[in-house]
Chain A
Amino acid sequence: MHRLVANTRKSFFDQGYLDEQFVQLEELQDNSNPNFVEEVVTLFYRDSARLLYNLDQALEKRPLDFNKLDSLMHQFKGSCSSIGAKKVKIECTNFKAYCNARNAEGCKRTFHHAKREYTTLKKKLESYFQMLRQVGPTEMACRPR
């Protein structure tokens, strides 16, 4: 089981779902905050749901307000980067590029991708944390990457 956990974790990095920032979070976890990573991720998903909703709404408007979209996406991107959600962040960057180019289609498309990545990561992390709980906190100590 431990190996499974370790491998799962490793796969996140290998496949590009998570980046170095996630490691920073892991390193912050300690005895006083034994579930720090999970707490942060949970908070992220809860808060970002609101941001995604706003983005959805903004993308429904006609015509599109690119400045607003850029601003909303900026917030979302910042959040993603703080937990190390690499793939989602990449899509956010693409979205912003399309926004700057005032490309509505591009924006919608990349937003769709971003949401997909976001949901995928959420599922993966949820199962990962569940695994961790089963394994015990010690598992989180010094993981090789």
Chain B
Amino acid sequence: MNLGGGQVVNKQSMMPSSSCASWKSTAGGGSSGGGGGDGGVPDQFPAGLRVLVVDDDPTCLKILEKMLRNCNYEVTKCNRAEVALTHLRENKNGFDVVISDVHMPDMDGFKLLEHIGIEMDLPVIMMSADDSKSVVMKGVTHGACDYLIKPVRIEALRNIWQHVVRKRKHEWKDFEPSASADEQKPPEEPDYSSSANEGHNWKNTKRRKEEDDEAEERDDSSSLKKPRVVWSVELHQQFVAAVNQLGIDKAVPKKILELMNVPGLTRENVASHLQKYRLYLRRLSGSQHPGGMNTGFMGSPEAGYGSISSLNGLDLQALAASGQLGQLPPQSLATLQAAALGRSNNSKSPISVPVIDQRNIFSFENPKRYTEVQSQHLPNSSNSKPMNLLPGIPTNMEPKQFVSLHQSGQHSFGSMNNQVLIQMGGQNQIQSQTQSQGQGQGQVQVSTNPHHGLRQPVLSSEMLTRGGVVDLATTVYNPVVSQASSLVDFSMNHKTDSSGNSYPLGGSLGISNITSTSSTLQGDVNLDTKVSRRGIVPSYDIFNDLNQNGYRDWGLQDVGGLTFDQSPVLLQHNRPSGQEIGGQNRNLTSNKVIFSPGVETGAHRNGSNIGQPRNSYVGENPLRVKAESLNDGSSHNTLYPDHYSQDDLLTAILKQQQQQEGVGQPENEFGFDGYALDNLPV
């Protein structure tokens, strides 16, 4: 509600922030900017922690605000979830932690939690007068860091900083292996991650480090960091193949490295990539059970292994899309998707085709990758409807579809899924054709509803029932492919086909924090990006300094980094039929892709489409996953080369990241030149 209020608080908390590097970053972004940046003040962490409180009850809100102020935190209060999301989106790095009530009239607290998780990846603490186990469990499954029972006591609020630290620490870990910058930080982690008592130590060390390194980081981040490894699509495929060969449980970096036999690749690179990959997988599997989400990407996993993910993907995309557009579709799903896609870039980003392409690429890429991943998980045999996570990326078709979708849908990307689907419907004919895939064309059809805007929820439900959006996606896409008229724009897609992997995804992955469920796959890719991003983004971030460069690059950063972890969905898809699914998935993914870029465009655009794709990618992944599941039969997928497996997707994603980094061009997603995991701890 009152940013002003929060900002006013600065006075109290400013001091501390200035001392820490992270504070500095936040200072810039957040209200604490005021006195910060001096570095002269001793760490007073956790003082100055920037908290956003969301509660529709004004009495509680007032009390919480006072309590938090008494803890020397910077407080911003909101009585509406939508307003809170707007705050968060406008100030990507403006907050360190969010406290939200569960029961709110305009948006369910868990939905808000999802959104935040996807878009910004901030720690969220839920609170409610309801202490029933089911509700608390829901909080846990939705990813809340903590759950406070009302009435909240000030003692409970004093320690919320631990969640911020923990999250950052976790992020750093991801970075660590690959980023040189991380090296500096890790040592400090133990200090602060421990109890509050040690916070002081951490602060000191951190501060010292920050002050010393900040400049370095910023200026020489590249030099400080180890040369990044660009996880190109091909490389990622090799990686996944190696992991599959060894078995996910037995896959150790050393052996993977040996199997991959890639000169110049270090065990460390592999280790960090593996970590991300695992997180992604975990996320995929994790997202399956949460029941609640359904509307959004979260819920979908339930629907079907693959399908859910697709749903998620779509949702995410939609969210992303919508996010970018700046519109928050009322439906949480849409929002989520939009968030996922565009993460709140909310600008009405014109989903430019080029952007889309990139996105598509991601989607393509991802699906591919994911499919592979899925296969790992599921011995794929059953995947008749391959998890299309990735598979969906039909080579060109999808992109086109998306393009058209975008154009049509656009603004409500939230329902991107819908839109995509809808559009597909438009293409309809195609759909019927694609139906061959057998996937639930019916579903697709649903999507075709004209109201594409927020359809997603509809879609999702259908998809869930069916098996996920995948079907839809695939079907939709497939036909589209044939038509390929509108989507032609997706140059990216084309490329993918040709090159096989341009993963715009790569880029996008990095961007979007699709931490949420769906993009787990992307997670892999994102992991890299995310990691880096996270470091930067987090409000407190000590890592910010490190990520400085990453930060700017990625649109994702704002988003909080794509945390692929969240998109388990993708992984789940096992693409039974490599190609076809892939093709279909591709479509799906591409759809996703589209959204995200668009969404992102508004916001963080690094200035390159790539950046966007990343975001989209995140969103996409969910879609893709779904696509994969759909693929069960699309025969025409031949378009997609086998290699479009999840690996491809990942590669794509990675590529995208690269692209965002400015490495590649959006256009050539397929040719991943190898994107540097810039995102990685920069």
Chain A positions within 8 Å of B, measured between CB atoms, are: 21, 24-25, 27-28, 30, 33, 36, 39-40, 43-44, 47-48, 71, 74-75, 77-79, 81-84
| Bound complex: CA A83 to CA B154 (Å) | 13
| Bound complex: CA A18 to CA B521 (Å) | 52
Please give the distance in Å from A33's CB to the nearest CB on chain B: 6
Q: Which residue of A lies closest to B58 (CB)?
A: A47
B258 within 8 A of A: no
Hey, which chain A residues are within 8 Å of B103, CB to CB? 71, 74-75, 78
With A39-B62, A47-B57: A81-B154 Cβ-Cβ less than 8 Å: no
Question: Does B63 contact A78, Cβ atoms closer than 8 Å?
Answer: no
The 6 closest A-B pairs by CB, nearest first: A78-B129, A44-B59, A81-B151, A21-B151, A82-B151, A28-B66
Please give the distance in Å from A6's CB to the nearest CB on chain B: 23
With A24-B154, A28-B154, A71-B103: A79-B57 Cβ-Cβ less than 8 Å: yes
B130 within 8 A of A: yes
From the candidates A36, A47, A74, name the one contacting B129 in the complex (CB within 8 A): A74
B241 within 8 A of A: no
Question: Does A81 contact B70, Cβ atoms closer than 8 Å?
Answer: no
From the candidates B63, B70, B154, name the one contacting A82 in the complex (CB within 8 A): B63
Q: Which residue of B lies closest to A45 (CB)?
A: B59
Please give the distance in Å from A69's CB to the nearest CB on chain B: 14
| Bound complex: CA A78 to CA B67 (Å) | 17
Please give the distance in Å from A98's CB to the nearest CB on chain B: 17
User: Majority SS of interface residues in chain A?
Assistant: helix
With A47-B57, A74-B103: A84-B62 Cβ-Cβ less than 8 Å: no
With A33-B66, A43-B58, A47-B58: A24-B150 Cβ-Cβ less than 8 Å: no
Chain B positions within 8 Å of A, measured between CB atoms, are: 56-60, 62-63, 66-67, 70, 103, 128-130, 150-154
Question: Does A78 contact B154, Cβ atoms closer than 8 Å?
Answer: no
| Bound complex: CA A47 to CA B59 (Å) | 8
Hey, which chain B residues are within 8 Å of A36, CB to CB? 66
Please give the distance in Å from B429's CB to the nearest CB on chain A: 44
Q: Which residue of B lies closest to A78 (CB)?
A: B129
20 residue pairs of the A-B complex, CB under 8 angstroms, read A25-B63, A28-B63, A28-B66, A30-B70, A33-B66, A40-B59, A40-B62, A47-B57, A74-B103, A74-B129, A74-B130, A75-B56, A78-B60, A78-B150, A81-B150, A82-B63, A82-B150, A82-B152, A83-B59, A83-B63
Q: Which residue of B lies closest to A39 (CB)?
A: B62
Hey, which chain A residues are within 8 Å of B128, CB to CB? 78
Q: Which residue of A lies closest to B59 (CB)?
A: A44
Hey, which chain A residues are within 8 Å of B70, CB to CB? 28, 30
| Bound complex: CA A84 to CA B128 (Å) | 15
| Bound complex: CA A124 to CA B186 (Å) | 57
Q: Which residue of A lies closest to B56 (CB)?
A: A75
| Bound complex: CA A9 to CA B148 (Å) | 28
Question: Does B62 contact A43, Cβ atoms closer than 8 Å?
Answer: yes
| Bound complex: CA A84 to CA B63 (Å) | 12
Question: Does A82 contact B59, Cβ atoms closer than 8 Å?
Answer: yes
With A40-B62, A40-B63, A75-B103: A81-B129 Cβ-Cβ less than 8 Å: yes
From the candidates B57, B66, B152, name the one contacting A75 in the complex (CB within 8 A): B57
Given contacts A43-B58, A78-B103, 12 further A-B contacts (CB under 8 A): A21-B151, A24-B151, A27-B154, A28-B66, A28-B67, A40-B59, A43-B62, A44-B59, A74-B130, A75-B103, A78-B150, A79-B59
Question: Does A78 contact B66, Cβ atoms closer than 8 Å?
Answer: no
Please give the distance in Å from A70's CB to the nearest CB on chain B: 10
From the candidates A43, A71, A84, name the one contacting B151 in the complex (CB within 8 A): A84
| Bound complex: CA A32 to CA B58 (Å) | 20
| Bound complex: CA A39 to CA B66 (Å) | 12
Hey, which chain A residues are within 8 Å of B154, CB to CB? 24, 27-28
Q: Which residue of A lies closest to B130 (CB)?
A: A74
Hey, which chain B residues are within 8 Å of A48, CB to CB? 59
Question: Does A79 contact B66, Cβ atoms closer than 8 Å?
Answer: no
| Bound complex: CA A82 to CA B70 (Å) | 17
| Bound complex: CA A84 to CA B57 (Å) | 15
Hey, which chain B residues are within 8 Å of A78, CB to CB? 57, 60, 103, 128-129, 150
Question: Does B63 contact A77, Cβ atoms closer than 8 Å?
Answer: no
Q: Which residue of A lies closest to B104 (CB)?
A: A75
| Bound complex: CA A28 to CA B70 (Å) | 7
Please give the distance in Å from B99's CB to the nearest CB on chain A: 14
Please give the distance in Å from B74's CB to the nearest CB on chain A: 15
Hey, which chain B residues are within 8 Å of A74, CB to CB? 103, 129-130
Please give the distance in Å from A141's CB to the nearest CB on chain B: 16
With A74-B103, A78-B128: A24-B153 Cβ-Cβ less than 8 Å: yes
| Bound complex: CA A47 to CA B130 (Å) | 20
| Bound complex: CA A48 to CA B58 (Å) | 10
Hey, which chain A residues are within 8 Å of B60, CB to CB? 78-79, 82
| Bound complex: CA A17 to CA B66 (Å) | 23
| Most chain A beta carbons < 10 A, residue from B151, B153, B154 | B151
| Bound complex: CA A27 to CA B67 (Å) | 9
Q: Which residue of A lies closest to B12 (CB)?
A: A32
Q: Which residue of B lies closest to A46 (CB)?
A: B58
Question: Does B129 contact A77, Cβ atoms closer than 8 Å?
Answer: yes
Hey, which chain B residues are within 8 Å of A28, CB to CB? 63, 66-67, 70, 154
Hey, which chain A residues are within 8 Å of B57, CB to CB? 47, 75, 78-79, 82
